[in-house]
Structure 1
Amino acid sequence: MELFLDRFGHSTWLPFSVIAARLLAAAIFGALVGAEREWRDRPAGLRTHILICVAAAAIAILAVEITHLDDFGGQEIRIDPLRLVEATTAGVAFLAAGLIFFTRGEVHGLTTGAGMWLAGAIGLAVGLGFWQIAALATILALVVLGLLQAVLKTEKRPNSTDHEEQ
């Protein structure tokens, strides 16, 4: 039985508490970005951004863990954790592209797609232990999505009023 358990799974290089904290932080950061999209009633909201961020964090954690496995220590096997990062960004970009559409001369879903892509990057940062980068990226996302939206709306109002007066 012990042989089965030894072969069934590996103990992790990172302490489980660190893994749990990173996944939880990814969920929180993803929720912050997703909440703004949810509040604006966009197609990819809270749950989508949380899942993307947590998935990216899990993949990043796996990349760290894989590089520390003895199973992959031989010269015949080369581990490149950046391939997981590339695959993650490509996968999230594929999901985001599914939201973007063009109708009546206007592009829709571009900001939400970019937010999803950023959620993936935030998840990768948290999963690799760079929570400071993830936190700053989350704050910047909220500033861009929230504050700049308000600025753009106020800029459009005077132009439309001036146009109506003429």
Structure 2
Amino acid sequence: MEGTYLLFGGITLSYVMIQLEYMLRIIAAGLLGFLIGSERKNRNKSAGIRTHAIVAIGSSLMMVVSKYGFSDIPASDGARIAAQVVSGVGFLGAGVIFVRNNLVNGLTTAAGIWATAGVGLALGAGQYIVGILSAVLIIVMQTLTHRISYFAQVASCGCLRMTIAQKNGAVKNMEEFLEKEKVEIASVKINKNKKDEIKLEFEVIYPPGFDKGALLSKLAEENTVMAVSE
């Protein structure tokens, strides 16, 4: 009968075709992960092409093994391995999230890794249309939100270093100046090297879309500011 031709070791042609179908799913998942990772790489993110591609390939592989690897066991649960991928990838995503000056960075990349795992699971389950369209949606969403200024503008952290003339209330006046410019001060270091000057180092949080160049120009025009840099 068709599909029952023996090749070697008792392996039939139909078995080989099924295995090639599974491999096609894994390859397709890897390509989609590659595309999602390319967008992240272009944004200079820590998790780029290789990370997303491997996550997609691994997730697809886990789904194939979970769904079809235990078909010889009647009471097997095809979802038990795939379910662990969802939580397991969360630990990988946590590695790209860090907090600095009360700002959380890497959340979008972590969410992208988690979503890429979902794409891999969909391809591994044979849900080609769902997996491909989900990958396209992820790429389009990440691309558009960076190109549209309203979505692209986010708060950012930085460091302001300046030397000011030592006068009564000079540090307080400088803090008030930054607060007036809507710049949040996370921490400040004060160093008095000479009698007539004070060196300040501010860890600051800039509001979304803030013009840092304009701030430096304003600071340079202040009479008490002798030098300023970022």
What is the TM-score normalised by the length of structure 2? 0.58
Following TM superposition, by how much is the alpha carbon of 1:160 offset from its aligned partner in structure 2, in angstroms? 5.0
1:22 aligns with 2:29: no
Aligned-residue offset at 1:118 = 0.5
Which region of structure 1 is more displaced relative to structure 2, 58-67 or 13-22? 13-22
Once the two structures are aligned, what percentage of the paired residues are identical?
A: 29
**Residue 123 of structure 1, aligned match among 102, 120, 125:** 120
Does residue 91 in structure 1 map to residue 98 in structure 2?
no
Query: Which consecutive residues of structure 2, in runs of 5 or more, have no partner in the other structure?
Result: 1-8, 154-208, 215-230
Displacement of 1:23 in angstroms is 1.0
- 60-69 or 118-127: which moved more? 60-69
> Secondary structure of the residue that 2:104 maps to in structure 1?
strand
Match of 2:37 among 34, 38, 46: 34
Question: Aligned-pair distance for 1:152?
Answer: 3.5
Secondary structure of residue in 2 paired with 1:85: helix
How far is 1:39 from its partner? 0.9
RMSD value over aligned CA atoms? 2.4
Structure 2 partner of 1:134: 131
Alpha-carbon deviation of 1:31?
0.4
Partner of residue 49, structure 2: 46
Q: CA deviation at 1:83?
A: 1.6
Aligned length: 147
SS, match of residue 102 in structure 1: strand
Maintained 8 Å contact 1:12/1:65: no
Mapped to 1, the partners of 2:110 and 2:28 lie a distance apart of 21
Bigger relative CO (Cα 8 Å, ≥ 6 apart)? 1
Distance in structure 2 (CA, Å) of the matches to 1:25 and 1:38: 20
For residues 151 and 93 of structure 2, what CA distance do their matches in structure 1 show? 28
Pairing 1:155-166 to 2, within 5 Å after superposition: 156=153
Q: 2: CA distance between counterparts of 1:62 and 1:12?
A: 15
Q: CA deviation at 1:66?
A: 2.7
| Residues 154/105 of structure 1: CA separation in 2 closer, same or farther (3 Å cut) | closer
Larger radius of gyration: 2
- Give the TM-score normalised by structure 1: 0.79
Contact 1:56 1:88 survives alignment (8 Å): yes
Measured in 2, the distance between the counterparts of 1:118 and 1:155 equals 20
